[in-house]
Amino acid sequence: MSKLKSFAEFLKQETAKKYGVVFLMLLVFSFLCEIFVFNYKWISSVGSENVRVEEMSATGIKDDGTISGSSASITINDINKEVKYLGIILDNENDRTDILNVTISAYDSANSSSMLSAPERTVTSAARTSQYIPLNFSGEIGSMNIKIEKESNVGVKIEDVILNAKVPLIISWPRIFIFALILMAIYALRPRSCAYKLITDLHSTNQQISVALVIIIMSVIFGGMIKWNSGITDWHKTYEHHQMYYELTDAFKSGHLYLEDEPSEELKNMENPYDYAARYAENVQFKWDHAYFDGKYYVYFGALPVILMYLPYNLITGNDLPNYMAVYILGVLLIIGVMFLLWEMIRKWFKKTPFALYIMMSVVFSAAPALTYAAYKPDFYLVPVLMALVLAVFGIAFWLSAEGSTKKGKEILIPWRMCVGSLCVALTAACRPQFLIAAVFGVMLFWNRAFKTRELFSKKSIRETVAVCVPFVVVGILVMIYNAARFGSPFDFGANYNLTTNDMTQRGFVWGRTGLGIFTYLLQPVRIDALFPFLHDFDKATAYQGLTLTEKLMGGVIWLYPILLTGIYGIFRKDLFEDKRAHRMIWFGMIMTLMITIADTQMAGLLTRYYMDFVWLMMMASVITVFALYNRAVTTSNSTANIINVTGLLTAATIAMAFLSIFAHTEDAIVSTNPELYYGIEHMIAFWL
């Protein structure tokens, strides 16, 4: 008893040694769960005796068990016994992933006149547990039919069909470790944890090292995830419209802005080359999704990624930068930028924020939706959006950091930081112009200094005024020159000259599309069910009498990313903020979210990657609200437990939804390009299958 008491006292201590011991205990617990919970099939089949089916009527299956065509059928008669598990054992000698879609029907004690058909199941060599199917027919089974659909063209060999299969013990070491880490995170971030006693101060060497480790860990994880959708990572090799930045690189090297490829004479002679149906009706050759103007092809996507990444890489190596690598580099920069931005918010407004809360908010800000969408689809189209997001985040962070003080305590503006912030935000125009809306934060942050204290736009503040304004002027002039040289107008970015599914020159602004866009992007409930990945995409549902451009979507962002609800709550809590600019950032973020949603709907339509245009604004508002709530609770000596619990729950739900969304897309789906990963994760999570 004395040893137990000593151990109990030890667990009450908040020491590194205690947390190490707790993690070892959770590893043991996770291992026990692996044996007795996640391997419930093994336990429930103890005592079963494998009955290998020798006599069966099979069609579409050769004598050696190979399915020759696209489908097959197996009928087993005179079973006359209860069957708890059906084993369909695949030949695992080859290195490929074999997939069979199986539908089981049977006569049982409750259905003697017609077969009861069970839902379709997937049997795959990627998940051994999938080959043992639990059956829940009523009583004894008289006969059984197994309908098999094969996904690939190669022959799949069924090694055995077993009734009342004895399921083997199948240990998943990754699941053990990941489950232990999740439990450890829950324990370490509980309200009474010492993690909340360490206040964020990145002047501390230990905290700097910790932040660096978090960045490295997140970058490594993201680096592995970005290769998950293996089919998409090769699109830059196979699809011409995913090579547009390569073509623009070659154009810049040749000293002109138009692309090298000459448009076909048929395209040049068309009355309306932007008419999608007419192009196909007349069998006109054209470059998909390129901008066509005045007899030349152009790239209407922002040129900055070419200038900063693709062109230097080509000049140094002689090769083209794979798009997914560009996405990875920008993803790492986003992680760094988010941690920089949140630190500046804490330093300026929320000095009592615990380090654990800072890390938690940084992770969820980065993951949803940018990094998780990038893991699903790291293609060419994501590059300019992600670069604009990175620049906007860094720009606002530098603006926040520009307010400093002298050794005597006098508040000053640091010109070089203002200049870098303005440059970053201005450069978004050369990536994705929608992100220029971030400039509003600069107006809001420096309003008082410009129009009340006159620390900007006065004779005494020439350096500061030049620092904040010149980048916008220079970048603006260069972008306008670039636009005018291509399309004859400094304000024409060329998106309307896109050779795509519709005539963008006729799209215009139609109020009838606005409601659909706001509802779909922000408010549409998600589709959730009990089948992995539990979250599913869906087609649009609208009565809009006109062209609606959309892809399959997941739902409104307030459902997809529940942490965003805190930002909405923050709108109504002005009392939380000593510096009203922090509260205005919430308002500005939400108003600009609505503006961008409407703009995207009108200009292009409803596409999943456009979530990145505005979710970061809502995420920033949510982070500010969380920090404000915690700091107010500490200041007023109130309990922080509820804030920690609610924030932790919403953060966990957001990360879970973001992770599952990677697998939920049915367009360019991971299940098609990387079935081994998909089914491996499916059975790791949905162990009951």
Q: What's the pLDDT tens digit per position in 131-184? A: 999 999 998 888 899 999 988 788 888 888 899 889 999 999 999 999 999 999
Q: Mean of the pLDDT values across residues 249-270?
A: 93
Phi, psi of 498 (to 5 degrees): -70, 130
The answer, yes or no, to whether residue 350 has pLDDT greater than 80, is yes
Percent over 70 (pLDDT), the chain: 98
Where residue 647 falls among pLDDT bands split at 50, 70, 90? Answer: very high
The pLDDT value recorded for residue 53 is 79
Distances 468 to 438, 473, 506, 589 between C-alpha atoms, Å:
14, 10, 38, 21
The answer, yes or no, to whether residue 639 has pLDDT greater than 90, is no
Q: Mean of the pLDDT values across residues 194-218?
A: 92
The pLDDT value recorded for residue 116 is 87
Where residue 1 falls among pLDDT bands split at 50, 70, 90? Answer: low
Where residue 640 falls among pLDDT bands split at 50, 70, 90? Answer: confident
The answer, yes or no, to whether residue 94 has pLDDT greater than 70, is yes
- Residues 114-132 have pLDDT tens digits of 888 889 999 998 899 999 9
The answer, yes or no, to whether residue 502 has pLDDT greater than 80, is yes
* Helix/strand/coil for 58: strand
Comparing CA positions, the residue from 681, 553, 510, 689 lying closest to residue 126 is: 681
The answer, yes or no, to whether residue 622 has pLDDT greater than 80, is yes
Percent over 90 (pLDDT), the chain: 63
* Residue that wins the pLDDT comparison between 545 and 184: 184
The answer, yes or no, to whether residue 546 has pLDDT greater than 90, is no
Comparing CA positions, the residue from 608, 484, 632 lying closest to residue 554 is: 608
Where residue 91 falls among pLDDT bands split at 50, 70, 90? Answer: confident
Q: Which helix (H) or strand (E) holds 66?
A: strand 66-67
CA distance 252 to 482: 12
Residue 64, phi-psi category: left (phi > 0), alpha (psi -120 to 50), beta (remainder): alpha
**Dihedral (Cα; 225, 228, 233, 235), 10-degree rounding:** -140
The pLDDT value recorded for residue 250 is 95
Where residue 69 falls among pLDDT bands split at 50, 70, 90? Answer: confident
The pLDDT value recorded for residue 406 is 67
Q: Mean of the pLDDT values across residues 680-686?
A: 94
Q: How many CB atoms lie within 10 A of CB 31?
A: 16
Query: What is the pTM (predicted TM-score) of this model?
Result: 0.93
Mean pLDDT value across the chain: 90
* Residue that wins the pLDDT comparison between 19 and 133: 133
CA distance 33 to 338: 36
The pLDDT value recorded for residue 60 is 87
Bridge-based pairing of strands 51-52 and 156-163 is: antiparallel
The answer, yes or no, to whether residue 508 has pLDDT greater than 80, is no
Identify the DSSP state of 189: T
Secondary structure of 206-263 in HEC code, one letter for each residue: HHHHHHHHHHHHHHHHHHHHCCCCCCHHHHHHHCHHHHHHHHHHHHHHHCCCCCCCCC
Residues in the chain: 689
The pLDDT value recorded for residue 9 is 67
Identify the DSSP state of 520: I
The answer, yes or no, to whether residue 637 has pLDDT greater than 90, is no
Domain 51-163 has CATH 3.10.20.30: no
- Residues 263-296 have pLDDT tens digits of 999 999 898 998 888 998 889 899 999 999 999 9
The pLDDT value recorded for residue 447 is 86
The pLDDT value recorded for residue 7 is 62
Comparing CA positions, the residue from 224, 259, 215 lying closest to residue 240 is: 259
The pLDDT value recorded for residue 183 is 94
Comparing CA positions, the residue from 683, 674, 532, 684 lying closest to residue 133 is: 683
Where residue 451 falls among pLDDT bands split at 50, 70, 90? Answer: confident
The answer, yes or no, to whether residue 376 has pLDDT greater than 90, is yes
Bridge-based pairing of strands 132-134 and 66-67 is: unpaired
Phi, psi of 40 (to 5 degrees): -60, -30
Q: How many CB atoms lie within 10 A of CB 295?
A: 11
Where residue 458 falls among pLDDT bands split at 50, 70, 90? Answer: confident
- Which segment of 1-10, 307-316, 632-641 scores lowest on mean pLDDT? 1-10
Q: Mean of the pLDDT values across residues 326-353?
A: 96
The pLDDT value recorded for residue 12 is 67
Establish whether the linkage from the previous residue to 533 is cis, with ω within 30° of 0: yes
Where residue 409 falls among pLDDT bands split at 50, 70, 90? Answer: low
CA distance 433 to 528: 34
Q: Mean of the pLDDT values across residues 361-385?
A: 93
Q: Mean of the pLDDT values across residues 32-39?
A: 95
Where residue 330 falls among pLDDT bands split at 50, 70, 90? Answer: very high
**Dihedral (Cα; 237, 240, 243, 244), 10-degree rounding:** 180
The answer, yes or no, to whether residue 664 has pLDDT greater than 90, is yes
**Dihedral (Cα; 539, 542, 544, 547), 10-degree rounding:** 0
Query: In the chain, what are the domain boundaries?
Result: 2-39+172-186, 51-163, 189-233+321-685, 234-317
The answer, yes or no, to whether residue 11 has pLDDT greater than 70, is no
Q: Mean of the pLDDT values across residues 385-392?
A: 97
CA distance 189 to 357: 9
